[in-house]
Amino acid sequence: MKASAQMLPVHDSILNALPHPVISVSATGMVLDGNAAAEGFFQASISVLKRHALKELVPFGSPLLALVEQVRERHAPVNEYKVDLGTPRNGHERIVDIYVAPLAERPGDVVVMLQERTIADKMDRQLTHRGAARSVTALAAMLAHEIKNPLSGIRGAAQLLEASVDDQDRTLTRLICDEADRIVKLVDRMEVFSDERPVERQPVNIHVVLEHVKKLSQSGFARHIRFVEEYDPSLPPVFGNRDQLIQVFLNLVKNAAEAIGEQAGDGEILLTTAFRPGVRLTMPGMSSRVALPLEVCVRDNGPGVPDDLMPHLFDPFVTTKSSGTGLGLALVAKIVGDHGGIVECDSQPRKTVFRILLPMARVSQTDTNGRKAL
């Protein structure tokens, strides 16, 4: 008994250290216990959860209830993937993978572990985004060499012809020069992807970045759109590059404004910041793995992203705009990836959210030049 009593706190510590919600459920369906992640998921303390039956915490007719019964009948664990446990209490659209297992020493009781699907999806999407960025890197290097040099010759020849042709033909030579310049600008934009130099980072106040982006937007392409800000003022600094972060959020806000279009007085862009438990990733330029607790979201009330486009949204040359190049979101994915962060998109009509998770600055961190991040 003495050894058992000493082990209980260790068990509790292990459970609370898990990032996934874990609860035990009695044979009568009541919640017996849970870990800290379960409190966060269900938005209630353990003492409150223990006063409720499982069916009161999940949507009516949830597959989780059937899984629990199945485990009790078969006395064997089961898994289920991509189940929506969203309720008004814990927020809508909480997609999870579920693991339910019996407690052998307590017949009828089961343990339930939930893994939020968004975490796994973020990892899968981020690997895809980085692969897309690498493909653009190779393409950019090839284009810079194979296109810009011949274009320079074409433009020079057109300028020579311009001096010796009549006005009607001069319009054509001017068109050749303009189109050559346009292609060069496109290639220049793509060359950003081939820049593999480490990003110079330092502590950056993300709210200063967002305020700068907001002012730029409201003075130009988003002058007809209402901005709403929901910031966590206690948010610590981001460990990043200010100019590149401005480029990221300027691209996202511009996309949002273009999606909204000319809605008469109805267009709205919501900017939010929050501190969230993040997944751990290896950040370029650093040897240790870091958490990504800083969440920044850009939400618009436009028509949403077509379902068939969602899996390829951050791929290069993918766009719904007739005049778009399809490089804006690919560049966003590259810059966020270079910062060791994650970018994702959730979209439905009248609610499209681009969510970025970033590392925070710490006193012990150094930038890529070896300077202390103070």
Total of domains in the chain: 3
Same-domain pairing of 110 and 125? no
Q: Is the pLDDT higher at 95 or at 11?
A: 95
In a domain, 373, yes or no: no
Q: In the listed set 50, 82, 116, which residue is the last one of a domain according to the structure?
A: 116
DSSP state of 76: S
**CATH number (domain holding residue 77):** 3.30.450.20
Residue 76 domain-assigned (yes or no):
yes
Looking at the structure, tell me whether residues 261 and 343 fall in a common domain: yes
Both tokens assigned to 127: 């690997």
List CB contacts of 153: < 8 A, sequence separation 6 or more: none
The residue-averaged pLDDT of 156-182 equals: 83
Residue 363 domain flag: no
Using the 8-state DSSP alphabet, how is residue 366 labeled? B
Least confident of 16-20, 34-38, 110-114, 353-357: 16-20
Does any domain span residue 336? yes
Domain edge (last residue) among 116, 137, 154: 116
Nearest to 345 by CA among 336, 134, 212: 336
The confidence score (pLDDT) of residue 82 equals 75
pLDDT at 2: 39
| 180 and 238 co-located in one domain | no
Q: Distance between CA atoms of 137 and 135, rounded to whole angstroms?
A: 5
Residue ranges of alpha helices (H) inside 261-365 are 328-338
Q: Is residue 256 a part of any domain in this protein?
A: yes
Residues 21 and 103 in one domain: yes
User: What's the whole-number average pLDDT of the chain?
Assistant: 78
Are 85 and 6 within one domain?
Answer: yes
The residues that bridge with 114 in the sheet, in sequence order, are 98
pLDDT attached to residue 354: 94
Rounded average pLDDT over 107-113: 92
Dist. CA 112–CA 360, nearest whole Å:
32
- The predicted-structure confidence for 218-242, as pLDDT tens digits, reads as follows 888 888 899 999 999 989 999 998 9
CB 129 within 8 A of CB 314: yes
Q: What are phi and psi of 260, to 5 degrees?
A: -65, -40
Asked if residue 371 has pLDDT above 50, the reply is no
Does residue 178 form part of some domain? yes
Nearest Cα to Cα of residue 269 among 297, 303, 301: 301
Phi–psi pair at 114, nearest 5 degrees: -115, 135
Q: Which of 220, 195, 181 is nearest to 331 (CA)?
A: 195
As a residue count, the chain comes to: 374
Q: Which residues constitute the domain of residue 72?
A: 2-116
Residues in contact with 182: Cβ distance below 8 Å, sequence separation at least 6, in sequence order: none
192-224 pLDDT tens trace: 555 566 678 899 999 999 999 999 898 888 888
Using alpha carbons only, give the angle 272, 278, 283 rounded to the nearest 5 degrees: 105
Q: How confident is the model at residue 55 (pLDDT cuts 50, 70, 90)?
A: very high
Contact 210, 249 (CB under 8 A): yes
154 — pLDDT class (breaks 50, 70, 90): confident
Measured distance CA(160)–CA(156) in Å, rounded:
6
In a domain, 305, yes or no: yes
Residue 348, domain member (yes or no): yes
